Amino acid sequence: MVRSLLRWLLLAAASALFGLALLGLGFYAHYLRSGPPLHPWQLERLADFTEADAAQVATLADYRALEDRLFSDLEARVYRPAVSDTELFNRFRKSSRSDPGVWTVNWNRTFELRPEAGVPVRGTVLMLHGLTDSPYSMRSTGQHLAAMGYEIVGLRLPGHGTAPSGLLTFRIEDMQAAVRLAARELHSRAPDRPFYLVGYSNGAALAVDYALAVLQGESLPRPAGLVLMSPAIAISKFAVLGRVKTGLSSLPGFERAAWETIGLEFDPYKYTSFSLHAGGETFRLTRRVAHGIERLSDGHPLRDFPPVLAFVSTVDSTVKAEAVAATLLDRLAPGDHELVLFDVNRYSAIQELLVEDPGALTRALETRLQRPYALTVISNLSSGTLQVMERRLSAESTQATERALALEWPLQVFSLSHVAVPFPPDDPLYGYEVVPGGPHVQLGRIQVHGENGVLMVPTWALTRQRSNPFHAYMLQRIDAFLAGTAAR
């Protein structure tokens, strides 16, 4: 009697679960079929560089020739002609305000910068952008370093700078191969000069991955130092879902299953749409970096790692900011490593509007004794002013040296963000101090008001801080870091 009852209950529970699963699948299928339509920029598969191409594409000239063909293919298969006044903010409509083609230089492509004639080359710098991003994020820092005497390559990574469909197929091995190709050639141009890697977000993770490959004995130019901006050393574990391949997106009518986000492509130099595959590949990269550090250190401080200068916003909704310390810097042997942390705006008039201590990472790092790297915090001089100061702590110390800076928070800005760090306030696209006008969109100056849910542009694009009020300070610190490592 009892067994029969239990069997009945188990069958009933299994039937209920099966029914719920079918219902869920039905709702999901309806969502996929009834959502916004996909466009050529989310569907067309373009022939970008892959790891398998490395044997034939062996130089930067080869890489850029492939890039020429890629962008010709992009224009032929994806771009819409300028036949009307609609889609003024679609980057894939010719001559729209979001078309990168209206810029003097299309910064979606690999760029090379050299010092002016007569200026001796002080070193070479390979610059790596982030996920969904483009070489544009390296533009301002690259131009500054070229003026300081460095030869620069801002590399366009595979899957990027073209159309969001590139996020469906790229692999981290493709990116690694492109980085190695560029590093070998760039260093060969000035082999007696120091070679550096500067990476932003996912590009910073690639820079760390490259340095680990050198330590593992791979025959590569050894970097004299790494500059990391908002480094993606760890991301949400939910990104592992991008590693699950159901094959559903390959069925006609179900292509949306490949996408986590589908949005208006209003930004000329960054994708709005985001694929599940891209999240999975980034998870692979960050896991590879973490495992590489753990394996090489083997429970001891990792020695011989290049000096690191990292710039991080204490609040970051894209990556785990605390992982820069916990996964990377804490594992390194004491050396010329430093973390520069941009605190939240602690002006008293703003604090009442913030959640309780959003900059908890700042306090946690400042009070730690076992810290094998220097820490610099950029924070308010006091709660009664917007002016900021530099508070520097040497490795394994909580004794701070403070210095007031001739910089201050803009009154309307309560914190930096992951995406703000590499861009100056006068950035022509993301800056809030840019002079209005010109043929292209200026996303840092957009101010719109109305009812919720009306705009196609996501809320984060309107409220998230897009440029760094302390960018000039960051450049000064990079200059000093490169000069210091060159003197070693």
User: Is 90 exceeded by the pLDDT of residue 423?
Assistant: yes
User: Is 50 exceeded by the pLDDT of residue 27?
Assistant: no
Q: Which of the pair, 299 or 488, is modelled with greater confidence?
A: 299
Q: Note the pTM of the prediction, 2 decimals.
A: 0.91
Query: Tens digits of per-residue pLDDT, 306-362?
Result: 999 999 999 999 999 999 999 999 999 998 999 999 999 999 888 887 887 787 888
Query: Tens digits of per-residue pLDDT, 197-235?
Result: 999 999 999 999 999 999 999 999 999 999 999 999 998
pLDDT recorded at residue 239: 52
pLDDT recorded at residue 248: 60
Give the mean pLDDT of 115-122: 91
User: Is 80 exceeded by the pLDDT of residue 454?
Assistant: no
Q: Which of the pair, 282 or 455, is modelled with greater confidence?
A: 282
Query: Tens digits of per-residue pLDDT, 365-374?
Result: 888 878 899 9
Q: Which CATH superfamily is domain 38-486 in?
A: Alpha/Beta hydrolase fold, catalytic domain (3.40.50.1820)
pLDDT recorded at residue 28: 47
Q: pLDDT > 90: what percent of the chain?
A: 68
pLDDT recorded at residue 21: 57
Average pLDDT over all residues of the chain = 89
pLDDT recorded at residue 49: 97
Q: Which of the pair, 440 or 352, is modelled with greater confidence?
A: 440
Kindly report the three-state secondary structure assignment for every residue of the chain: CHHHHHHHHHHHHHHHHHHHHHHHHHHHHHHHHHCCCCCHHHHCCCCCCCHHHHHCCCCHHHHHHHHHHHHHHHHHHCCECCCCCCCCCCCCECCCCCCHHHCCCCCCCCEEECCCCCCCCCEEEEEECCCCCCHHHHHHHHHHHHHCCEEEEEECCCCCCCCHHHHHCCCHHHHHHHHHHHHHHHHHHCCCCCEEEEEECHHHHHHHHHHHHHHCCCCCCCCCEEEEECCCCCCCHHHHHHHCCCCHHHCCCCHHHHEEECCCCCCCCCCCCEEHHHHHHHHHHHHHHHHHHHHHHCCCCECCCCCEEEEEECCCCCCCCCHHHHHHHHHECCCCCEEEEECCCCCHHHHCCCCCCCCHHHHHHHCCCCCCCEEEEEEECCCCCCEEEEEEECCCCCCEEEEEEEEECCCCCCCCCCCCCCCCCCCCCCCCCCCCCCCCCCHHHCCCCCCCCCCCCCHHHHHCCCCCCCHHHHHHHHHHHHHHHHCC
Per-residue pLDDT band at 80 (split at 50, 70, 90): confident
